[in-house]
Amino acid sequence: MSGEAGMIAAIMQPTYLPWIGYFDLIDTADTFVFLDDAQVLKRSWGVRNRILAQTGEMFLTVPLSGHKHGEGSAFVDTRIDSEQQWAKSHLSTIRHAYAKAPHFAEVFAVLETLLHTGHGTIGALNEDFIRATARRIGIVTPFLKSSELAAVEGRKDDRLLSICRAIGADTYLAAPGSAAYIEQEQEGGAFAGSGVAIRYHDFAHPVYPQRQDGFVSHMSIVDLLMNCGYASALEIIRSGRRAMLTPSELRESTP
């Protein structure tokens, strides 16, 4: 958590088996909000992520049932296609990729229980994994869901600002990738002059032991957990944290 005066909020869509930077964002914030009423996009991080197999990176994708753009396609209500044996397939792929990893038995047992729980929606599955993993590695940041907040309105950065106001946040900590639409019309977007500051998360991916030569970054946190375990994961994740950036600092740091 931030340890600074005021309250820092991070707001993100619930990603499937997120990368470690996602968990540093949670750990940096004082409150983390799942943007679970955002639209799910096929072939996005909301439904898939990467692990590292002996042959290289592999994608694991969760199949959706009756998914379509528009109404009824938010994380909170988009159904997982339970008729497909996706959980069995994902677990088999993970087993083959990490069976010889130092912490395989511990991590695989947790994943096996999670993926066989029978979550109805992609939002529920992703949030369950993120909450459980955050707690296991020592992150204490409280979680909220945007779909359960009252008086939240607007789109894109206006909606993010509305969420911050609804929960009493003084600062919004954004992922750098969101700058493409937040900064489109003016520096700081809807946050400019709003009384809620905007800062951007800055994370340098740490290198940790992997079983093959040449480190491959930006895998799912599953890769870190399998290789280093739950007990040391948070220390490794925090080692990549840098000071938060203002919109102008982010712009200056972008090639």
pLDDT digits (tens, 9 = 90+) for 171-217: 999 999 999 999 988 999 999 999 999 999 999 999 999 987 889 99
- Residue identified by tokens 């707001």 is 11
pLDDT digits (tens, 9 = 90+) for 91-140: 999 999 999 999 999 999 999 999 999 899 999 999 999 999 999 999 99
pLDDT digits (tens, 9 = 90+) for 16-28: 999 999 999 999 9
19, 134, 141, 152, 252 from 185: Cα distances, Å: 30, 35, 32, 22, 17
Tell whether pTM > 0.85: yes
The two beta strands, 48-53 and 56-61, are antiparallel
Look up residue 64 and give its amino acid: L
Domains of the chain by residue range: 8-253
Contact 168, 218 (CB under 8 A): no
pLDDT digits (tens, 9 = 90+) for 226-250: 999 999 999 999 999 999 999 999 9
Residue 69 has pLDDT above 60, yes or no: no
Burial of 83 (0-12, 13-18, 19+ CB in 10 A): exposed
3-state secondary structure of 56: strand
The whole-number pLDDT of residue 81 equals: 94
Residue 9 has pLDDT above 90, yes or no: yes
